[in-house]
Amino acid sequence: MVDISASTKQPEPEQPVAVDEKSSGEDAKKLSKRAMRKEKRRLQSEERKAVKKLKRKEQQRVKKANGLIPPPKELDMSEEAVQRRKDRAIARREAYLMAAEEGVKVVIDCEFEEEMNEKEKKSLSQQIMFSYGVNRKSRTPMNAYITSLHGDIRKNLEKISGFHEWQAFTGTSKSYMDLFKKESLVPQPLEGYHVREGGGTRH
């Protein structure tokens, strides 16, 4: 005979897991205390900042009342002052142009615009604009020529306020070969052409 008691034996029910309610409650309490301390520190920090701000305002008020803070200086609009400012601006402009004329000559050639996509055209326009901004602040500015300027790149640059008044950056539809002698040009990949000193321009 076959003993079937083993095959018919029912599985024992799982024992319930004991949950330590006391421990769980203590953990929650600890988290709650940490959150409360954090919130308290935040409120104290904000309160200190507010007090400092009020102190600064009060100090400014007292200084102003005692005449320790001079009133904002009004711009002198007399004829002599206006003329002096104009003269200084002209002197700065002439000094900058003289420095650029004595600096290196650089050609940025846009002849291959037709082979560029819209993103590349926009990128080149932005690079030219950025280069001009850096050049204006330089103590040793270069004299740049943007040649074969046409199409979308020209349109992008003409959208920039004051583009046609750029100093030491000359935009022209002419080719660089029409402006400079071939032997005076030094190719600079991805940058343009550097004109050797004494290369001069064609007339």
Give pLDDT tens digits for 52-110: 888 888 888 887 777 776 767 787 788 898 899 999 999 999 999 999 999 999 999 99
pLDDT, one tens digit per residue, over 94-116 is: 999 999 999 999 999 999 999 99
Among the listed residues 145, 155, 125, the one whose alpha carbon sits nearest the alpha carbon of residue 192: 145
Q: With 70 as the cut, is the pLDDT of residue 203 above it?
A: no
What backbone phi and psi angles, to 5 degrees, belong to 161?
Answer: -60, 130
Helix (H) or strand (E) holding 98: helix 79-102
pLDDT band at residue 26 using 50, 70 and 90 as cut-offs: low
End-to-end CA distance of the chain: 123
Residue from 122, 118, 192, 133 nearest 159 by CA? 122
- Evaluate whether 175 touches 90 at the Cβ level (below 8 Å): no
E-assigned strands of the chain?
105-109, 143-147, 169-171, 185-188, 192-195
User: Is residue 42 very low, low, confident or very high in pLDDT (cuts 50, 70, 90)?
Assistant: confident
Place of tokens 């291959």: 112
Question: How far apart are the C-alpha atoms of 187 and 193, rounded to whole Å?
Answer: 5
Q: Which CATH number fits domain 77-182: 3.40.1280.30, 3.10.28.10, 3.40.50.300, 3.40.1170.60?
A: 3.40.1280.30
- CA 199-94-105 angle, to 5 degrees, is 20
State how far the Cα of 97 lies from the Cα of 89, in Å rounded to an integer: 12
- pLDDT at res. 152: 95
Q: For the residues 126-142, what does the mean pLDDT come to?
A: 94
54, 68, 74, 137, 168 from 86: Cα distances, Å: 43, 33, 18, 20, 20
Between 10 and 83, the higher pLDDT residue: 83
Instruction: Specify the pTM.
Output: 0.55
Tokens of 44: 């104290």
Task: Indicate the helix (H) or strand (E) that contains 134.
Answer: helix 118-137
The pLDDT value recorded for residue 78 is 85
